[in-house]
Amino acid sequence: MPPYEEYIEAIKPLWQSRWLTNMGTYHNCFEEQLRIYLDVPNVSLVVNGHMALEMTIQAFSFPHGSEIITTPFTFVSTTHAIIRNGLRPVFCDVKEEDGTIDEKKIEDLISEKTVAILPVHIYGNICNVEEIKRIADNYGLKVIYDAAHAFGVKYKGHGIGCFGDASIFSFHATKVFNTIEGGAVAFKNQELYDTLYNLKNFGIRNEELVVTVGANAKMNEFCAIMGLCNLKHIAETLKKREYIFNYYCQRLEKIDCIKILIKDLPSKEWNYAYLPIIIDNKSVVTRDEVYDYLCGRGIFTRKYFFPITADHACFKNKYRKLDLKVARDLSNRILTLPIYEDMETKQVDRIIASILNII
C-alpha cells in the first residue's frame, strides 16, 4: 500500500468533484500513465483481471463452441474466462523448466475449431512468444496472454504486453502491483479500445444510444487513485523485492532437492512477484509435508497452482482429456514461498531453516 497520508491526500478532490466513477479524471490519467509504464501501444482499464480476460476474449467474437488452446497450470480464472464465453478450453501441457505452455505441443492440438491460443506468463516466466506467434500466424489464430503475473516485466526491451493480440494484467490486492481490485488490457489494434469500452460500460455511447450488449466492468476513481499512488513507488517496490528474492535464491540453491521454478533472470527487466519452488522427486518428504510443517510454524506458503484447472470439480470430465503429465507433476510438487517488499532477511533465514529442518 502507498503511505496512508499520500492516498488520503490524493482522494480529497473527490469530495469536491463528487465524480466517483464512469471514466473520471483519475481513471483517464491512470490509464495513460499505465500505458507509458507498461510500454504498450494501448491500455484499457477494467474492474479486475478476470473481467479483463473475459471481455478480451468476448471482444474477438469467436463462434460459439470454438476451441482455445490454453494451459491448465494457472489460476482458475484463466479457464473460467474461456468457458464463460461459450468456448471450449483445450489444455496443452507445460514445460518442466518454467511452467509455461509447451509450444512444441500446441500444433498437435489445433483443430478446425481452434480460434486462439491463451498462454500464461506464470510467475512472470515469459512464454516462448516468438514460437507462439509463428504458430498463430501460420494457422490464423489470435493470441491472448494472461499476463496477470507479469506486471512490469520486459522482454528484449519491450513491455510484456506488446506480445500477442492482447495481454491482460491483474491489480488484485494480492498481486505485485494493486489498485485494491483492478485490471487492464494491453493491445496493439486501437479499434479494440472502443470494443472493450462498450463491453465494460453497458455498450452505452451516449444517453440514447446503446450499441453493444455490454456488462459493467469499469474501474472507479478510488481504485484509479490507488493505482496512481502505487505506480509512484513501483520502482522502489521492485528493488526491495529483487533484494529479498536474490537473498532467498542464494540459500535455496544450496538445498539439493529444491529447484526454483524461475527461468533465466538476468536477460530481462523483471518483477520478483513470486518465489515458486519445486520439491524434487528424489526428496524424502512430499510437498504437502513441507506445506503442513511450515504452516505449523506460522509460515504460510501457497500451492500455486494445485490442482491443475483441468482437474477442478467444476470442469472434471467435461473437456477433452489430454496428456497433462508435466503440469500435474509440477502441480503436485509446487510451493510458492512468502515474498513481499518489506520482508526482512531474518524472516527468510527462519523460512530456510524450517525448510532444511523438514527436508
Ligand X SMILES: *Cc1c(COP(=O)(O)O)cnc(C)c1O
Kindly give the pairing relationship between strand 67-70 and strand 88-91: parallel
Q: Is 77 in the site for ligand X (CB under 6 A)?
A: yes
Q: Which is nearer to ligand X, 70 or 78 (CB)?
A: 78
Contact 160, 269 (CB under 8 A): no
Binding to ligand X by residue 120, rule CB under 6 A?
yes
Cβ contacts of 60 within 8 Å, gap of 6 or more = 115, 116, 142, 144, 165
Closest distance to ligand X from the beta carbon of 306 (Å): 14
Output DSSP code: residue 311: G
Q: Is 172 in the site for ligand X (CB under 6 A)?
A: yes
Binder among 24, 159, 183, 214 for ligand X (CB under 6 A): 183
- Range in contact with ligand X (rule: CB under 6 A) among 69-77, 89-97, 185-193, 227-235: 69-77
Residues 248-277 that bind ligand X (CB under 6 A): none
Task: Identify which of residues 24 and 49 has a Cβ nearer to ligand X in the complex.
Answer: 49
With CB under 6 A, what is the number of residues at the site for ligand X? 14
Considering only the stretches 45-53, 202-210, 243-251, 264-272, report the one whose residues sit in contact with ligand X under the rule CB under 6 A. Answer: 45-53
Shortest reach from residue 12's CB to ligand X, in Å = 27
Residue closer to ligand X by CB (options 21, 336) is 336
Q: How far is the CB of 345 from ligand X (least distance, A)?
A: 27
Binding segment toward ligand X, per CB under 6 A, in 32-40, 74-82, 190-198, 321-329: 74-82
> Closest approach of Cβ 313 to ligand X, in Å?
19
Distances 269 to 150, 160, 238, 263 between C-alpha atoms, Å: 10, 10, 10, 13
The closest residue (CB) to ligand X is 49
Q: Which of 58, 71, 78, 179 binds ligand X (CB under 6 A)?
A: 78
Closest CA to 358 of 246, 247, 259, 279: 279
Between residues 45 and 355, which has the closer beta carbon with respect to ligand X? 45
- Closest to 339 in 3D by CA, of 105, 174, 166, 127: 174
Mapping DSSP onto H, E and C, the string for 95-113 reads CCCCCCECHHHCHHHCCCC
49 lies in the binding site for ligand X (CB under 6 A): yes
Nearest alpha-carbon partner for 265 in 275, 257, 256: 275
Cα–Cα dist 221/237, whole Å:
23
Contact call for residue 50 and ligand X (CB under 6 A): yes
Minimum gap (Å) between residue 265 Cβ and ligand X:
20
Q: How far apart are the first and last CA of the chain?
A: 35
Of the residues 58, 85, 167, 170, which one makes contact with ligand X according to CB under 6 A:
170
Binding mask 14-43 for ligand X (x = CB under 6 A): ------------------------------
The verdict on 75 binding ligand X (CB under 6 A) reads yes
- Rank residues 44 and 170 by Cβ distance to ligand X and give the closer one: 170
Closer to ligand X by Cβ: residue 81 or 244: 81
Q: Decide: 327 and 96 in contact? Cβ < 8 Å.
A: no
- Quote the CA–CA distance of 138 and 116 in Å, as a whole number: 12
Q: Tell me: does residue 74 bind ligand X (CB under 6 A).
A: yes
Spatial contact of 354 and 299, defined as CB atoms under 8 Å apart? yes
H helices of the chain, where?
A: 4-11, 13-17, 25-38, 49-59, 76-83, 129-139, 191-200, 221-232, 234-252, 287-296, 325-333, 345-358
| Least gap, CB of 83 to ligand X (angstroms) | 14
Across 294-328, b (16+ Cβ under 10 Å) vs e yields beeeebebeebbbbbbbbeeebeeebeebebebbb
Q: Is 146 in the site for ligand X (CB under 6 A)?
A: yes
Residues in the site for ligand X, rule: CB under 6 A?
Answer: 48-50, 74-75, 77-78, 120, 146, 148-149, 170, 172, 183
